[in-house]
Each structure stands twice: as C-alpha cells, then as structure tokens.
Structure 1
Amino acid sequence: MPRRPNYDRDDLIERARDLFWQHGWAGTSLKDLEAALQMKPGSFYAAFGSKDALFELALDKYASDGAARLGALAAKLGPLQALQQFPAHVITNDDAPAKACMLSKTYLELQARNHPLARKADKNLTKMEAQFAALFAQAQAQGDIGKMHDPQKLARKYQSDLLGLRVTAERNKADAISIADDLAADVKRLSETA
C-alpha cells in the first residue's frame, strides 16, 4: 500500500503560486521551487510531475482565488459597488507578492515562445473578463446602469484599465491609488445614465 504524502498540497500550490507570481516562469528555477516548498527533487516530481504542471496549478489557483474575491465582494456590496471597489482592493492587498496580474505577466512572458502556459493564462484572462461582463449585466438588469451600455464592451475596457493599473501599482503605489479612485468614479458614472 503506497504511503500517504505528509504535506498539504494546497499549501504547496499556494507557495509556488507566490513564487511564480513574483519571479515569473523563467525566473523561477526547480531549485527555487524545491527550496520554497521544502521538497527534494524526487518528492517534487512525484507530487507535481514537472515545473510546468505546477505552474498550471498555480495559475488556476491565482485565477480561482481572484474570481472568488470578486464574487464575495459582489455578494456583499452588489455588482456595481463591487466593480467600483475591486481596483483599490487588488492594489492595496499587502499579502500579494506582486501587484501586477500573474495571468497577464505569464501571457506576456510566454506567448512569444508559443508556450502552452500562455494559452492557459489567456483562457483565464477570458474567464475573468466574462466575470466582469456578468457583473455589468447584473447591474444593468437591476437598473443600476443604462440599457445603452454593452456589458461585454464595458468588461473589456474595465479589464484593460485594471491590468494597466496593476502595472502602475508595481511602479508607484500612490499614483495607482489615485488611478483606482478614478476607475471607481468611471464605474459610478455609469449609474448616472440609468
């Protein structure tokens, strides 16, 4: 009978996510992962198979955690208020190892190599955009924004602005906070045309 592993797989994936998020795919070596996860090479390969397999798990963890945070914010505040507060929420999270989005960082790093992980990052970015569109559509259905707005188009612009904001936050937190306030005001203004 095989021995049961004596580690918390979710914790290891979370630690790997933070390392990959901070240093990227190329900037994170197997030795870095083994040290951060406190695993020997044999245990690492038995648990995850490869660096790419672990990176994919880390990307999925990043995406699902972000979707859950936004979903919880929407459940608490409603869709429009959640969209207003989310920009400030992501750039002021002091527990995050980086301010820039891990999905966009991965896509930019790996798409020129035609690496499968770039396609995985792109799929997760598309899901994120769909979540934003769903929240704009909910706000529209509730009468919080006017019918003349296209939720999909709003979501694309919102995601683009949010990704740019997160890069700015890497460079200058004070500027990013001011821009996050502007993004919140832009979303709030949508309610003025309801």
Structure 2
Amino acid sequence: MEPKSEKRTPGRPRVFDRERALAAAMRLFWQHGFEGTSMAQLTDAMQINPPSLYAAFGSKDNLYRETLSHYLAEYGRLLVETLNTEGDGRQAMHHMLRTAAALFTDTSHPSGCMVSNAAVHCAAENARLAELLTQHRTHARNLIQARLAQAQQAGELSSTADIPHLATYFAMVIQGMALQARDGADRATLEQLGDLALRAWPAQRSSP
C-alpha cells in the first residue's frame, strides 16, 4: 500500500519524500519524546501508513535514531559551530550560550533541545535509546571541555581552573536552559541565565 499523499497533478509520480517524513517525525519526537509519541501520531504527521513506515525505517526505534541524527545535523551543529568561532574562549562560550537561548525559544520548531527534552528514565525495553542520548550529552560536554582546555593553553582561562568540572557546569547550564524553555522561559530570560553562568569563568590573573 502506498503512503498517503496530496492529490497529484497529471504526469507527477507519487513518491515517498523521506526527508519530509523525517522532519515531521523529528518534530513529534522533539515535542513528546520517544515514549510519548504514538505510531498513530507518526503515521499521520508523516503521511504514511504503518506498513510503509516499517518498510522504510524498520521500526519506531530506528526511526527515532534517524530523526535524532537529522536533529543533530540540522540544529545541534549550530551549538557546536559556536565553539570554533573567532575570538577567545570566553567569547566562544558566550556565543554558544546566546545561540542556545535563540535556538531553544525559536517558535518555528518545538522549544528546548531534542536531546535534553528526552526522558532521562526510559522503560527497560528502551534502555539502548537512553544510552544513546547519554552518549550524545557526554559528547557535547567533551567538546566544551576541549574548547576550555584550548582556552587554558592560550592563557584565556586560569591555569588552575578545573576544566572537567567547568565543562560539566556549562553543559549542565545549557541543558537547564533547554528545560527552562520547555517550561515557557523566553529568549531574554535564557540570555540572562547564560550571562550569569559566564561569571563562573575563572579568568587568568594578571602578573603583579
């Protein structure tokens, strides 16, 4: 059975638009999480019937993994790219926090972050997905840690700064901002939270 589709014009073949379907599924998972999204919601949003969904993606689990990759490539990269912007480490972190505030409150898509929004505790049968999300959060923290280490080597960060714990702190702030956005915090509020977080930046002391 073919996927549901809008009425086609003469000569126009009816095809399954995989990218469009993935984007629709991503928004649902972003909004409701894996366990909170039903197959009925997915097939309706993706304009596809259950047999075609399974034929195209194999399972709901596989579909979620693909949408997560789609999210990271489309939105997650925006935060990663800020770590490589010109300027010193503190400016890069400030840019990252401001970008997060804008992304998490953008009304063109669900609020917050798809990775942070996901439930920390999942049913036993979804343990592998929970582990995958943990891996992505850990990877994000490691990227922040690498940028902080670079700033420390450049003398932009105190030589006595505890880089691993500082990286965990900034990762925690970004995850918290995502959850605050889910609870209705606006961009200005998140930007203020980011500015407060930057006060933890231990600047290198000037020589006497």
TM-score normalised by the chain length of structure 2: 0.77
5 Å-filtered alignment, 1:72-83, equals 72-78=81-87, 79-83=89-93
Tell me which residue corresponds to 2:10: none
The alpha-carbon deviation at position 57 of structure 1 amounts to 1.7
- Name which of structure 1's ranges 109-118 and 126-135 shifts more when overlaid on structure 2: 109-118
5 Å-filtered alignment, 1:22-171, equals 22-78=31-87, 79-93=89-103, 94=106, 95-99=108-112, 101-110=113-122, 115-171=127-183
The one-character-per-residue Cα deviations of 1:76-112 (angstroms, maximum 9, x if unpaired) are 334432211222212222133122x322332424167
AA partner of residue 22 (structure 2): I
Q: Which blocks of at least 5 consecutive residues in structure 2 are unaligned?
A: 1-13
Change (3 A) 1:90 1:56: same
TM-score normalised by the chain length of structure 1: 0.82
CA distance in 2, matches of 1:132, 1:66: 17
CA contact (8 A) 2:177 2:190 kept: yes
Change (3 A) 1:96 1:87: farther
- Name which of structure 1's ranges 156-165 and 81-90 shifts more when overlaid on structure 2: 81-90
Change (3 A) 1:24 1:160: same
Tell me which residue corresponds to 2:8: none
Does structure 1 residue 178 correspond to structure 2 residue 192? yes
Q: Which blocks of at least 5 consecutive residues in structure 1 are unaligned?
A: none
What RMSD over aligned residues (CA atoms) do the two structures have, in Å? 2.5
- Name which of structure 1's ranges 63-72 and 10-19 shifts more when overlaid on structure 2: 63-72
Bigger radius of gyration, 1 or 2? 2
